[in-house]
Structure 1
Amino acid sequence: MTGVLYEVVHRIIPPVARTLWRPTVEGLERVPGTGPVILASNHRSFVDSIVIPCVVPRKVVFLAKSDYFTGTGLKGAAQRAWFEGLGMLPVDRDDTKAALASLDTALDVLGRGEAFGIYPEGTRSRDGRLYRGRTGVAHLALTAGCPVVPVGLLGTEDIQPVGSNRPRLADVTVRFGEPLDFAGRFDGVPSGRARREVTDEIMAAIQELTGQEQAGAYNDRPVDA
């Protein structure tokens, strides 16, 4: 059923979104057309997980708050169909064990040869700066042995600013960087150090695409996020 929902929603939403927002897309040819790949992006807005799948011609799976999948009644069913139709999978961000299990979910996605989208910052930047990346992205890249395509989003915070419930028209740019391949580069390197170095390299590539000021710290998720 989820596959059917995705096919239906994906035929409708991307064309409409591209018509409304008319995003500027750069470097799309750098995204492999097949095979497992991680799209690692900065995070500016709730709509980031909609914008990226709307411009990439292949399915991109993101994780989303489990709350979006548990609503009741007609509204809950519609919301659940919307997120499933966009290819998103639920994760309980308030449950540490579930959050760790989400990495296994991501590896399953990559193991099927699909594209997985992730925000190494962990949560949205509320001040426009680029925060330090968490090493889950490196764990995925090193374990799956797949390339990482850095993604730079600009302007999505103007579509739906933090605290806003309604999207608006705004100029959006999506930039895809050169794929980063870490296969064999960290053989024999302690795993913790390898994950940190891989993550820092990914974040540096994202910063080069966006030009954001680096915060130099982790972005802690607000209680109401």
Structure 2
Amino acid sequence: MWYWAFKYIFLGPILRVLGRPTIEGHENIPTDGPAILASNHLAVMDSFFLPLMVDRRIYFLAKSEYFTGTGLKGAFQRWFFTAVGQIPIDRSGAAAAEGALTAARRQLDSGKLMGMYPEGTRSPDGRLYKGKTGLARLAMDTGVPVIPVAMIDTHKFNPPGSVLPRPTKVTVRIGKPLDFSRFEGMEGNRYIERAVTDEIMYELMQLSGQQYVDVYAASLKNKAPAVESPAADAA
């Protein structure tokens, strides 16, 4: 109930006024059945604008820190992220990563839409970074389609470290579903998982127009200079 209340009554109308969001390619999202929405990740607001513009409910994996805060703020944060369909995950190791995939697989097995960020964290500078292979492993294990999603200019609406939004037109661009059935039976092969991941990232680069950087975003997050995406400006 709270998911739809935030979408249509409380938060959604505000985002529509401030972000003037539009969506392209909505027809590429199936009306029912499981699928993975593989999105670039520019800002916290990606997880708000994408559900706002997609008719079906979307579930996301969220870092466990959102659910472990203390005091009034921590309690509100825990309630809010639970209400809007965020699933807490521990990102601190290999076992934790497997737990995250298990949580996502459970949603897909029940026919849900999973929103996932293959970069693993927000881009520090507006560019597109190397994808992690967990999403590819999940897609190969479940056989569900992967739908690339490009979030455009959310980092201008919600710059890193900002508290208040900056009114900016936001675009959600949905690509055609990717089918990896040709790799059936090759689950667990790290070279195949890397090939699938790189194919997803290539589609995201084409959709978003971002410059691609072949390193993990987490390794540069605190070092990279702020650079605007020229293609995002053009959009």
TM-score over 0.5 for the pair = yes
Partner of 1:186: 183
Task: Select which of 1, 6, 11 maps to 2:3.
Answer: 6
CA contact (8 A) 1:149 1:177 kept: yes
Task: Select which of 115, 118, 121 maps to 2:116.
Answer: 118
Q: CA deviation at 1:220?
A: 1.9
CA contact (8 A) 1:5 1:84 kept: no
Alignment coverage as a number of residue pairs: 219
> Deviation per CA, 1:163-191, whole angstroms, max 9, x where unpaired?
222222111111000011112x0135472
* Matching of residues 170-209 of structure 1 within 5 Å: 170-183=168-181, 185-187=182-184, 189=186, 191-209=189-207
- Alpha-carbon distance between aligned partners in 2 of 1:138 and 1:101, rounded to the nearest angstrom: 15
CA contact (8 A) 1:23 1:173 kept: yes
Q: CA deviation at 1:93?
A: 2.0
Query: Where in structure 1 are there 5+ consecutive unaligned residues?
Result: none
1:48 maps to amino acid: D
Q: CA deviation at 1:95?
A: 4.4
- Alpha-carbon distance between aligned partners in 2 of 1:216 and 1:72, rounded to the nearest angstrom: 37
* Matching of residues 63-82 of structure 1 within 5 Å: 63-82=61-80
Identity of aligned residues (%): 48
2:174 maps to amino acid: F
Deviation above 4 Å: which 4+ runs of structure 1? none
Give the CA RMSD over aligned residues: 1.8
CA contact (8 A) 1:63 1:90 kept: yes
1:59 maps to amino acid: R
Range that drifts further, 117-126 or 74-83: 74-83
CA contact (8 A) 1:64 1:90 kept: yes
- Alpha-carbon distance between aligned partners in 1 of 2:38 and 2:119, rounded to the nearest angstrom: 10
CA contact (8 A) 1:130 1:212 kept: yes
CA contact (8 A) 1:5 1:81 kept: no
